[in-house]
Structure 1
Amino acid sequence: MMIEESRQRSIAYGLSETEKPDFSPIARTDFSLLLEQNRILHAHALPVMETLYEQIINTHNMVILTDVNGLIVHTLGDDDFLEKANRVALKPGVIWSEASKGTNAIGTAIVENQPVQIHANEHYLQANHFLTCSAAPISDHQGNVIGVLDVTGDQSSFHKHTMALVRMSAQMIENHLFSTAFQHSITLHFNTRPEFIGTLMEGIASFSPSGSFLSANKTGLFQLGLSLSALQSHTFSSLFGLPISALFDHYRTAMPGLLNLCMPSGVRVYGRAELNSANSIFQQSAELVRHNDDGARDGARSSNLGSPSAHATNQNARRLSGLRYLNTGDPQVAALIDKVNKVLGRDIPILVMGETGTGKELLAQAIHNDSPRANGPFVAVNCASIPETLIESELFGYEDGAFTGARKKGAVGKILQGNGGTLFLDEIGDMPFSLQARLLRVLQERMVTPLGSTKSIPVNIELICATNRNLRDMIAKGEFREDLYYRLNGLVVRLPPLRERTDIETVVEKILLAESSGKTYTVSPEIMQLFKQHNWPGNFRQLTNLLRTAIVMADQENIIQRQHLPDDFLEDIDLCLTPKPEESTNWRVSNGANLEEMEISVIQQALESNGGNVSATAKALGVSRNTIYRKLPPQK
């Protein structure tokens, strides 16, 4: 339909399908002026174009950047294809609008304001039938199209993944432009999953120092569920349920972690804010907001929690992230949830055991959301990610002047931030031994004494801890206090790793639904069988990232197939399923070895048989050299 409408426009422009295209570029002086007018776009697009070109090099393609009118600003490409491209004027200074060239990806993307792929004879002009072009418009922070990113190549070398790469690259350029436009504002990076912050999946929203909404990128608009115009009347507080002064307080702590925020829809997101504290306007506004807000904040917080709208927001959040939504059919998980439900609200600490990536924090958040403390704060602390020299001040807070480099007026620690709610201590096994006695005292006395203070402050928290380490072994080695262990393990539950679960089909379905932005994706039976056989060393984190990549690679296809999966995953699968070599090869593996040890043993013996030649070893085993390097221990 879109191509047919474009063809009708091409006819209306008076173009003939058989006519020779207009090859003449604009004058040199005009082109210099064009470059100056698009200087910012060009500066931010160039590194992305270079990265994109590295991914398609030697495939008879070129990368093209145009301005809003389709006039080519810059190109990168293979020399052999550039010669062909010059025949149809795919070079800087030439315009590729629909009015000039008829139906083509660049011109049509500008008119439709959406990504467009034009293949072979879908081009209006016959002279361009040898091309396949994939283009995506680039928008500024106000949503206006300011240019187009395009990959054009010989139609015989067409690859269906090219369109996905172009769209992702255009989004990268937009995010760079967005950050530049609001570098002196408060910028929030957010997503429902913390691991997506800092990736293309993150939403970005900017606010004035007083908290007024300024703008958001496309992903941010999608997550907020509001148009740019509808957001203009909002503030940081109305969108994320946190006073702007509380945001300033958060970033005055020694090691501020991710924010836990609630959007108007009731969906909870994680966030990381960028504050330009060197800007004097920001500093003045921050102090003004603090002065106006501090006196009323506590009262407003308690009154808001009792208001109908706040109550509805919290109820929505609980419905969207409760224990029952984690029950996807695995008997071990069902039994775990049944145990947890029995201790909710009973002031019994919960210790969650499990490998990295099994969803320990997700479980802790669900426990909080289903507990009587759901309206209170949920404060998560990763004991392994905070430097040992800072973890004490991070947990317990400190007074002004408590140590060199301490912030003026001190800082509230994580334990006090969780007052009235839930404190989640992740990787508790990595807490320094010297601090374990102090934590035990806080848990027993329910009193916190900040560093540099003689005053103890009462605290009322529900405690959930998690670890992937064997605490009993650590106790035997003198690395973990036995008395603290028995204070933490009121209820001990174990989250099974993904390879032990029986509900992987349901899990995959839920992840695809959450990551697909409204489009329906399924996994082919062949791939589902591979998923069931895989060891999943990264558990849910690995599976989620894998499916997110597969969705991008599948693009317009609805069924995820083998070709949509990353190469390293397929290499791991192939290596795991490689038949045991014949006895004649003398590659012997101990019957007691686990799967990982067997893989390494096979690789090492194959490497010895090939005289240390990695390429020959990789070829013999049917895997890539990268797999060999990744599986072998580093050389000392």
Structure 2
Amino acid sequence: MTQRSVTPSVTGRADVLAQAHARSRDFGLRASEAPDFHPLRPLALRDLVDCNRSLYAHALPVMETLHAQIVDTDSMVLLTDSNGVILHSLGDSDFVEKAERVALCPGVSWSEAHRGTNAVGTALAEGQPTAVHGGEHFLQANRILTCSCAPIADPYGRTIGALDVSGDPRGFHKHTLALVRMSAQIIENQLFANQFGDAVRVRFHARSEFIGTLFEGLAAFGADGALLAANRSALFQFGRPLDTLLGQPFEMLFGTAFPAALQKALRAPGECLTLMLPSGVRVLARAEYAARPAFSADSGGPRTVTPSSSVAPTSGKPRAAAITFATLDTGDARMAAVLDRVEKVRGRDIALLVLGKTGTGKEWLARAMHEESPRRDAPFVAVNCASLPDTLIEAELFGYEDGAFTGARKRGNVGKIVQADGGTLFLDEIGDMPLAQQVRLMRVLQERCVVPLGGTRAVPVDVRIVCATHRNLRAMIEEGTFREDLYYRINGLVVTLPALAERTDLPVLVERILTRLRSDEPDSERMPTRVSQDVLEYFARCRWPGNLRQLANVLRTAGIMAEGAAEIDVEHLPDDFLHDCEPASDEPLRAPPAVESSAPSAPSPPARMEELQATLIEQTLARNNGNISAAARELGLARNTVYRYMRIRTTH
């Protein structure tokens, strides 16, 4: 894709055409070649349109307006993708028949490599608006056309398509190219507004009458005041290309502190601010946002407040305490390093991929990332790709229209992606997503819009994607079970969470999880807020195959069992805890605190671990008068485990 330039090329038109003809010859084309009458098959064309859904959706109404302006002039309007393949056309019926004789129809590539010098292919190759008339075409068959084309760029300056008007040379008008350029710029500005609907957008120009027109500069800023993107006019006014401006602070670009400028805009909505460009040129500007920003004393910047109607209802339950980076920073060095890396990209449009074993807290990290970002007041939507059947994941993610398939809701379903609009979409176990859905997800990430099942209308979406998996995605790519293009789209920043058995912050984790359980559980005021030293020692020797999820479940059950007690003790642990979670080393089970008993003292330590454990069980059984259940509870073992060790003791 071509990076747009700040200023139009100064190369003369004759030179542009000469270079285009030279490229055509280099491609091995002959001027006498006949047109190719083999467009893409309907299914392939539909897939290509789907891949360019956002461009297509924003271009159609502009194409209709443009066609209305040139109607009855023996011409047609064409939309192509970034490779010059025609996606859609509108035209006078008489001319459409003539155009089809030279393969000027949807599904056909008009790149220079396929069609030689022509307005579409040459405009895309040069990255600037181009007109090619009659005999200026390389192929003789195309000299029945006069064509005017302008490339279309996305908000980041990447060429994503082209808009073209082609017609009979006898009907050529010198203003056609200007009309096409303006129409392409309308599409670009609409794409810009859709992409940055929740960012702070600044409209500016040196002359106030140009604000609100196609000639205005558009710049989008994040909550921290860093530049996210700028349109063609803004780049022309800044006098610099986009790649040198991205991330630049508002103050450096406009000579005013970001919070101060926004406060002025809030006090006088609709009025222009006077700002200073780096060149010293004074411009008038208006700042706007989808919702009134709430200022954060910490960041000095705004954060968008999404109307409450856009957030899913919470069924009357009070919102749980937010999970933040501070919540997750519990003293482990490896975890602190992960948080430090993730914190550097908060508020930036960089995809996050979280790796780690099952239960290591991947969703907690995603929630913290959301809570610490400018999207914190918008929805956080989590989807576990492994828990949904293949037949349902597509409908759950992308939604469906009324009647899309049997058994669906009467009014359809918007889908998880649209529910997360403006916020964060967390895709857990992304490695378990079927290949067909990987393709659709890739399109959503590229086009930033969703077409529900059974629907034709593209729904624009603005979501931050956080993905997680315990699988080796690189190995899956080699096996052909995970798409390589999707992998490189979701792994902007990759972090790996440590397993619980490798962490050094177990006591703090236990305390924080208990505190959170007390706030989440109904009627949990009597749940203890700490565990005994004996329990901590049991925990320290466990391998924790279920990691943090297992720890939280054990503490929840134990907390309920210990309601009213000062702390959680061994007797409150689930019966099968030690059965499912064997000690991490060859150390024997630690005996519970000594209780006065008439039972005989333990013999000298046996050589084998099993015998020591069986001896411990015997002592506990003696204290509990042979009651298996009571002994198992005291030891934190399942009853079957007690029976098994009793059999071992008997055989020895």
- TM-score between both structures, scaled by the size of structure 2: 0.43
Structure number with higher helix proportion: 1
Rg comparison, structure with higher value? 2
- TM-score between both structures, scaled by the size of structure 1: 0.44
